[in-house]
Structure 1
Amino acid sequence: MRGAELARLIGAQVCLHATMAGIRLAAPLLMLQQGHGAASVGVLISLFALTQVFLALPAGRYVDRHGLKRPMAMAVAAAFVGALLPLIWPVFPAMCISALLTGGATGATVIALQRHVGRAAQGTAQLRQVFSWLAIAPAGANFVGPFVAGLLIDHAGRVPADDRAYAICFGVLAALPLVCWLLVRPTRETPSDAPAAQVPGAGAWDLLREPMFRRLLFVNWMQSCSWDVHAFVLPLLGHERGLGASVIGTLLGAFAVAAAAVRMMLPLIAARTTERQVILVSNLMVLAVFALYPLLRDPWAMGACSVLLGFALGAVQPMVMSMLHQITPHHRQGEALGLRLMTINASSVVMPLLFGSLGMLIGVAGVFWVVGAVMAVGTPAVRGLKATEEHHG
């Protein structure tokens, strides 16, 4: 795959994902300004992920049938309409529909681009490298979207922010999906595979009959849980330790910066190692950090742990994507990506509720250790991924 084409696709994902990330900041702020409470804001925020849980599998199947451009055109249209709705009709129901549309468009974009990039890569080494580069896009979008939205809200109108400032903000965010389409349009589709004969009643869950796919999905779920527990429990742990909000925010920021930084280094690492090795080292690092983290009280020591955890978890997703493309039939890769996305998003909804209940029963520090124990028990599954590489390498 050519570097220029990959750069265009990364830019396309940044543009569309930034629309969702910007609205995720602007819409709650507008709601609070209108007098809505925290509960309404919570409902709105949850809707950004809800569509991805239910539409991931249908989107994956659609991508398998139609390739890159048709799903991307639909995602661009959904994100464009989603950004315009609160501009035209700045009320709570419109913002909820906007969250559903932009969240669903972002999920469909992820599946379509990951499938296309995986099929266009030449060989396993390039597969690891292109997914390492593509993984930078969400981190970039999560910076660009909120930064642009916040800048426009603060400076495009009067101070404090007025309706004109929010209208300009939503208008600019609505333009980003159009830029995304301009970047995607010149891309050539990869050759389609003839679908295998379908077994009556078979669906995406059929993929779980493949032991290596189950193992890879389980490993990815463990890493996702580790990411979620850090984001959820660290503020509680910091509060217990008497740390200020700015210190806790800095710790979370250090984690995010490290996760983005390791993805920028991964193309070099991927050329010299295998997916299994990266995931195994990541697992061991997470185990060590989770065992130590709850014992620390010094903010600098906790910051070092956050950075190590960011390096460990940030490196995993590109490796998982590379392996998933190696172990999944070509004509079902979109479906497999959809199943993975659905599983991860559903987990991100359910696990914080479980973490909260566990925290009440065994304490905040205990939650880290419980998740660490799950990682320890699941480490043999990472070792088992070697068989996949031997079979498909």
Structure 2
Amino acid sequence: MTRELARLILAQICLHACMAGTRMTAPLLALREGYSPAAVGVLLALFALTQVFLALPAGRFADRNGLRRPISYSVVAAVAGAGAAVVFPVFPVLCLAALLTGGATGAAVIALQRHVGRAAVGALQLKRVFSWLSIGPAISNFIGPFTAGLLIDHAGATWGSLWGYRAAFLLMAVLPLASWFLVRRTRELPPVIAANGSHAPKAWDLLRQPTFRRLMLVNWFLSSCWDVHTFVVPVLGFERGISASVIGFILGAFAMAAAVIRMLMPLVAAHLREWKVLAGAMLSTAALFAVYPFMPSALTMGMCSVLLGFALGTVQPMIMSMLHQITPEARHGEALGLRLMAINASSVIMPMLFGSAGALVGIAGVFWATGALVGVGSRAAWLLKDSLSSHGGHAEPHSPH
């Protein structure tokens, strides 16, 4: 792994940790202030709402402007969002923080993934670099919630509970600043000249490709599982009287398990087949969701979270590898934006649906329904085998630039 890739991973960690920590702190503060699980579902949905509308423009912006300018705008938005929650820790401002930090993270991720994908040479290197890059969100999903939980409990015990939440938001506001210092020296890649045509291609044209549609469906199934876990653990932990730091640790254990499996994947990338990994992840997740509601304590919940992290941690590198193989290089940013828009449109709707369903059938019902859906949907991952065969197994290598 080159130094430049390491810097980009660290930059992604700092920016993503801001959003991940805010995403845990804001719902806990809302629950403390007496808001219902349905209101918390709306709050969590707002972390994805901005990305629904910004993902495609952000992808096109990255195609035109490269890496550094999208990252700089993302840093400004993330600092503003988390900083506003420090000054005004009330529900409407928490909603604004969710919109800003979520949108900033989405735009930055598109720019980073596009840059790394263009720099890779060949299908094998794509799997390796995206395995390394995907470690960033996994680590930040540990750092953000865990440090925020510690500050809520310990700073709150010293200065008052509301100041604990403010301290957590303050740390989240500082983290993105490091991202800009890490990215600003990165060498921009030469711009890609799109093929001449009578009119500019539309992003929706990509959905005419059966492989792309099927890949988006699999990605939606698995990202919904991630959303379920992120939503349910704070609510379930709050109902069982588990402290904020332990809830943060459970979420962090999930994230660290995902990071560990992603660290191992580059070492065995030559032996991995994308469709097999995705199908296995879907079946494993369905089984784990079936037993998760029966976990009676924080320890057993943590164990289940670790196993779930191992399963879902394998997904993103395989999705990103396939995405870069089946889309034109000049439209990588657009394809990444379309993917992010699709899964975040789901992330807007699903937490609100989880909140309503949880009130009606209980948290266990949310787990079982999602697990059943993912198990049935695993057929789409198996069908990707035929899709890859029709594309010749692997895309032709990129030019080394």
Same fold by TM-score greater than 0.5: yes
CA distance in 2 between counterparts of 1:296 and 1:275 reads 32
CA distance in 2 between counterparts of 1:27 and 1:200 reads 45
Counterpart amino acid of 1:381?
Answer: A
CA distance in 2 between counterparts of 1:280 and 1:188 reads 37
CA distance in 1 between counterparts of 2:232 and 2:169 reads 33
Structure 1 residues 1-393: aligned runs within 5 Å: 2-25=1-24, 36-38=33-35, 44-87=43-86, 94-149=93-148, 154-155=154-155, 159-160=159-160, 172-197=171-196, 203-230=202-229, 245=242, 254-290=253-289, 293=291, 306-355=305-354, 368=367, 370-390=369-389, 391-392=391-392, 393=394
Q: CA deviation at 1:254?
A: 5.0
Contact map agreement 1:60 1:336 (CA 8 A) in 2: yes
Q: CA deviation at 1:209?
A: 0.6
Gaps of 5+ in 2: 395-401
Contact map agreement 2:45 2:352 (CA 8 A) in 1: no
* Structure 1 range deviating more: 270-279 or 11-20: 270-279
CA distance in 2 between counterparts of 1:256 and 1:204 reads 32
Given the superposition, is the C-alpha separation of residues 363 and 389 from structure 1 closer, same or farther in structure 2, using an over 3 Å criterion?
Answer: same
For residue 224 of structure 1, give the secondary structure of its aligned residue in structure 2: helix
Q: CA deviation at 1:234?
A: 7.2
1:261-300 deviations in Å (ceiling 9; x for gaps): 222222223232221221122233234445x527957768
Q: CA deviation at 1:115?
A: 0.9
Q: CA deviation at 1:114?
A: 0.9
For residue 271 of structure 2, give the secondary structure of its aligned residue in structure 1: coil
* Structure 1 range deviating more: 372-381 or 262-271: 372-381
Given the superposition, is the C-alpha separation of residues 43 and 199 from structure 1 closer, same or farther in structure 2, using an over 3 Å criterion?
Answer: farther
* Structure 1 range deviating more: 88-97 or 62-71: 88-97
Q: CA deviation at 1:200?
A: 5.2
CA distance in 1 between counterparts of 2:56 and 2:174 reads 28
For residue 194 of structure 2, give the secondary structure of its aligned residue in structure 1: coil
Given the superposition, is the C-alpha separation of residues 104 and 359 from structure 1 closer, same or farther in structure 2, using an over 3 Å criterion?
Answer: closer
For residue 159 of structure 2, give the secondary structure of its aligned residue in structure 1: coil
Given the superposition, is the C-alpha separation of residues 385 and 73 from structure 1 closer, same or farther in structure 2, using an over 3 Å criterion?
Answer: same
Counterpart amino acid of 1:195?
Answer: A
Given the superposition, is the C-alpha separation of residues 389 and 147 from structure 1 closer, same or farther in structure 2, using an over 3 Å criterion?
Answer: same
Given the superposition, is the C-alpha separation of residues 121 and 90 from structure 1 closer, same or farther in structure 2, using an over 3 Å criterion?
Answer: same
CA RMSD of aligned residues (A): 3.9
Gaps of 5+ in 1: none
CA distance in 2 between counterparts of 1:180 and 1:62 reads 19
1:143-162 deviations in Å (ceiling 9; x for gaps): 33344445556449952257
Q: CA deviation at 1:229?
A: 4.0
1:76-100 deviations in Å (ceiling 9; x for gaps): 2222333443456666655543332
Contact map agreement 2:42 2:352 (CA 8 A) in 1: no
Aligned to 2:398: none
Q: CA deviation at 1:313?
A: 1.5
The structure that has the greater radius of gyration is 1
Q: CA deviation at 1:24?
A: 4.0
Counterpart amino acid of 1:38?
Answer: Y
Given the superposition, is the C-alpha separation of residues 280 and 199 from structure 1 closer, same or farther in structure 2, using an over 3 Å criterion?
Answer: farther
* Structure 1 range deviating more: 88-97 or 110-119: 88-97
User: TM-score w.r.t. structure 2 length?
Assistant: 0.79
Contact map agreement 2:221 2:374 (CA 8 A) in 1: yes
User: TM-score w.r.t. structure 1 length?
Assistant: 0.81
Counterpart amino acid of 1:263?
Answer: R
For residue 385 of structure 1, give the secondary structure of its aligned residue in structure 2: helix
Given the superposition, is the C-alpha separation of residues 283 and 18 from structure 1 closer, same or farther in structure 2, using an over 3 Å criterion?
Answer: closer
Counterpart amino acid of 1:191?
Answer: P
Question: How many pairs align?
Answer: 385
* Structure 1 range deviating more: 265-274 or 116-125: 265-274
Contact map agreement 2:46 2:348 (CA 8 A) in 1: no
1:300-348 deviations in Å (ceiling 9; x for gaps): 8876654433322211111101111111111111111111112212212
Counterpart amino acid of 1:108?
Answer: A
1:168-195 deviations in Å (ceiling 9; x for gaps): 6655544432221111111112222112
Counterpart amino acid of 1:293?
Answer: V
1:231-267 deviations in Å (ceiling 9; x for gaps): 556789999xx97747x95876654443332222222
Report the identity percentage: 58
* Structure 1 range deviating more: 206-215 or 252-261: 252-261
Aligned to 2:399: none
CA distance in 2 between counterparts of 1:333 and 1:50 reads 22
CA distance in 2 between counterparts of 1:28 and 1:232 reads 9
Q: CA deviation at 1:43?
A: 5.2
CA distance in 2 between counterparts of 1:98 and 1:238 reads 23
